[in-house]
Amino acid sequence: MQIASLAKVGLPNVSTSDTIDSTFAALQRAQLARRGSFTLEARIAQLDQLRDSIKRYESNIIAACAADFRKPAPEVKLTELLPVLQEIRHTKKHLRKWMRPKRVAASVGVLGTKSYVRPEPKGVCLIIAPWNYPLNLALGPLVSALAAGNGAIIKPSEMTPHTSKVIANIVAETFPPDLVSVIEGDAAVAQKLLALPFDHIFFTGSPAVGKVVMEAAATNLSSVTLELGGKSPTIVGPDANIKRAARNIVWGKFANNGQTCIAPDHVFVHVNIADQFNEALKTEIGRVYGKTPEAQKSTADYCRIVNRRHFQRVSNLIDDAKNKGARVFEGGVTDAEENFIAPTLISNVSSDMDISREELFGPILPVIEFDDIDLVIKKINDNPKPLALYIFDKNESFATDIIERTSSGAVGVNLTVVHFLHPGLPFGGVNNSGIGAAHGEYGFRAFSHEKALMEDKHSLMHLLFPPYTAWVRRLIEAAVRILG
């Protein structure tokens, strides 16, 4: 199956208000009707169909990502297809266990009862996906939503229209519309969707928009999972393996052209190894993407900034830094016609520069020397809690000390970004970088209501019920004394 003509794909169809309302109402009715009948087998069957559709559409997905921002085919397979297919595989393997009610032992005060925690679907869920990993971050949460027994509406990003269209086609061919539907459109469509009383909203995007989503969700008291971002710091300690650190940081930073929420945002490098590390970064960039801007522009392995607006934003960050005294010691070359920005390394960074305050979300890596780790930790703690923190050093105590004295959504030691691919780990931020977690059982629980269930077998609790005779009062006083 191939996209008939990528050149003819324009902006996604903007869904009308009536279409949005009718789609939502249909999902609500169907969700009520399937309560109790969306069995383990039925959920696995839906996941199998999704897996088969993704594989059938693989060439379409690769072509769409290339058309949207020249994403290399191997990178599409590694960062768009693999995470979703792995999520499906992992979920299918463990779903029976996740769905099973969990027995809870009775406390002394409720002896004679049986208690369980029973996961149940939240209902109709909204998944708002971003543009940077448009397929992965739309269909990955859908796996968790379906596994938990929910219906869902997906709102893909209008900034990647070709991929958005492929997602819509996959969903339309795979699911009944009253189980999963795609609503395409711009910010106005998202606002219309957010006004509806969804049972859960899963949003991936910036902290600024995350606040808007949370405010809208509060109107209907909808629960939320917010996968946000921030400035993820990287620390290269004095005993780091310099070559290994450079290899991991260059990949984590410049894959997807730096448009990754968990990419290293900036690097603190110990002054004793700074010169060697900077040279290692330059060498690794040259090895992976080419030694000149012309080679980097012509390689098939280097993505592009998603659109002209974001290209201008990232270009302005570089210009602002240079105007305020920063030194660009690698890259800095731009081409507006192609939304191309070369892998860029910047030193002499100061706090008044925009790159010190804004999430970069592009191929810019500020490198900051340090000789006192306490000052680095203070700087990290003085800023909003990041989505990820990366530490490179052979000394385990060096990493442990930093981990214990900072807060972040995740930590990578001698690696970057790879933790996203582990379906057994929770993926999520802290406060400004996110609320809630995704992936594996954590994603299943995010889309589930954990219902408490207690059954009386031979409890004596009725002995404490009114009327409060002298005997009952003595029993209550004894209970408080013994159990309290």
Q: What is the full DSSP assignment across 376-443? A: HHHHHHTSPPPSEEEEE-S-HHHHHHHHHH---SEEEES-SSGGGG-TTS-B---BTTEES-BSHHHH
Tokens 């893909």 belong to residue: 156
Torsion angle, CA of 183/81/432/220, rounded to 10 degrees? 30
What are the C-alpha distances in Å from 435 to residues 155, 200, 334, 385, 444? 20, 13, 36, 12, 15
Cα separation of 246 and 300, whole Å?
A: 21
What are the C-alpha distances in Å from 395 to residues 252, 401, 410, 434? 22, 10, 19, 30
- Active-site residue 358, yes or no? no
230 and 260 Cβ atoms separated by less than 8 Å: no
Structure tokens, 9: 């794909």
Catalytic residue among 227, 330, 369, 441: 227
10 and 161 Cβ atoms separated by less than 8 Å: yes
Q: How buried is residue 301: exposed, middle or buried, by Cβ count under 10 Å (0-12/13-18/19+)?
A: middle
Structure tokens, 246: 């450079």
Phi then psi dihedrals of residue 448, to 5 deg: -115, 150
How many C-beta neighbours within 10 Å does residue 374 have?
10
Strands 410-413 and 388-392: parallel
Cα separation of 453 and 114, whole Å?
A: 8
Q: How buried is residue 415: exposed, middle or buried, by Cβ count under 10 Å (0-12/13-18/19+)?
A: middle
What amino acid is encoded at 259 in this protein?
A: Q
What are the C-alpha distances in Å from 125 to residues 27, 62, 146, 217, 241? 9, 27, 10, 12, 45
Cα separation of 292 and 330, whole Å?
A: 10
H or E element at residue 116:
strand 113-121
Catalytic residue among 75, 80, 184, 261: 261
- Active-site residue 303, yes or no? no
Length of the chain: 484
Tokens 């607006």 belong to residue: 309
Catalytic residues: 227, 261
